[in-house]
Amino acid sequence: MTQPGHEAAWREWNAARSGARMHHAWILAGKQGLGKRAFANAAARSLVGAEEGTQHPDILTLTHPPKDDKEDRKRADGKPYERARSIRIAQIREMQRRLATRPTLGERRAIVIDPADDLERNAANALLKSLEEPPQGTFFLLVSHRPARLLPTIRSRCRILRFAPVGEDAILAFLAEAAPQSDEAARRAAAAGAGGSPGAALTFIEQELAPVEELMRCLVREGDRDFALRGRLVDAIGNRPDRTRLQAIFDLSRNVLRDEAVGAQGPTLAAVADAHAAMVALAAQAPTYNFDPGFLSTEIGGLLASAAGHRSTADV
């Protein structure tokens, strides 16, 4: 599937590959849903000469492992399994053991870490040693949605390849290919609410988030003095949303608040900014703490409603 918005990144990557000495470590930086993982996989294939759709022994991918032994057995059986919240030091150690040997089929090896933001602290420190003294022919591709979360020492040893938000027209073209079963109205709503992220737009359609977005925008613009809108939002989100749906809900809520900040002034702008900052903090805490899904849905609704708390008649 064609990934929109990668043209500039490919130009920079290909120029580096054709240079005399290519940098050994790269951070692919940009908001979630811009296709950085797909780019990392394709870039890794370009380094080792692998064909698309094939597995190559000189491409190593580190991502969230199964949560525990039970989930690992599910993975081995080809069943859906729950993933751990972080990339662990044992995975880095295993990767480093592989780096002690030569590449299997050629002179190059690619390491993809997705997302590098979720490395455990000890894992990040261990990775740093490999970045400081990389084996010959080894290249690191670190997918990062929030580069500021990476250790400064890791950032300083990597070249940053930035991925910018994608325009709505490009997202609409992407959705027409990726979700042909959806109607045009749904695709337009998804593109408008995605904040420039094709992946978020596709999730918007797959998770059927149009009713959720409508309620969110009502909360931000009208408030919710009788708690009725918040109750409807909790129902629309669902009793037990999985991690993918919750992440999409958080992304959508932040996009709604960002949209509302455009053109706002004075106390209204301050209220929207405060709500956005609190939403970012809640989204960061959610994977770490075992929050009840109903509590999270209620908190999200409360923060959205708080953005309307200082509106004057002239703002509405």
Q: What mean pLDDT, rounded, does the chain reach?
A: 91
Residue 312 in any domain: the answer is: no
Q: Where are the alpha helices (DSSP H) in the chain?
A: 7-17, 36-48, 69-76, 89-99, 121-132, 152-156, 168-178, 184-193, 198-206, 210-222, 228-237, 243-261, 266-285, 293-306
Q: Which of 162, 184, 219 is the last residue of a domain?
A: 162
Number of domains into which the chain is organized: 2
At 193, the pLDDT band (50, 70, 90 cuts) reads confident
Same domain, 21 and 137: yes
The verdict on 18 and 128 lying in the same domain is yes
Which pLDDT score is estimated for 316? 40
Residue span of the structural domain in which 293 resides: 207-306
Task: Evaluate if residue 38 carries a pLDDT over 70.
Answer: yes
Confirm whether 78 is domain-assigned. yes
- Examine the pLDDT at 168 and tell me if it is beyond 70: yes
Higher pLDDT, 8 or 244: 8
Same domain, 211 and 67: no
Same domain, 53 and 117: yes
Q: Are 122 and 237 part of one and the same domain?
A: no
Contact 25, 55 (CB under 8 A): no
Q: How many angstroms separate the CA atoms of 160 and 293, rounded?
A: 36
User: In this predicted structure, what is the pLDDT of residue 310?
Assistant: 58
Q: Please check whether residues 11 and 138 belong to one and the same domain.
A: yes
Distance separating alpha carbons of residues 41 and 175, to the nearest angstrom: 21
Q: How large a percentage of the chain has pLDDT more than 70?
A: 97
Report yes or no on 73 lying in a domain.
yes
Q: pLDDT above 90 covers what percent of the chain? A: 74
Is the pTM higher than 0.85? no
Residue 151 lies in a domain: yes
Per-residue CA distances from 45 to 4, 15, 32, 116 (Å): 19, 16, 22, 19
For residue 313, is pLDDT > 60? no
Q: Is the dihedral of CA 65, 66, 72, 75 positive or negative?
A: negative
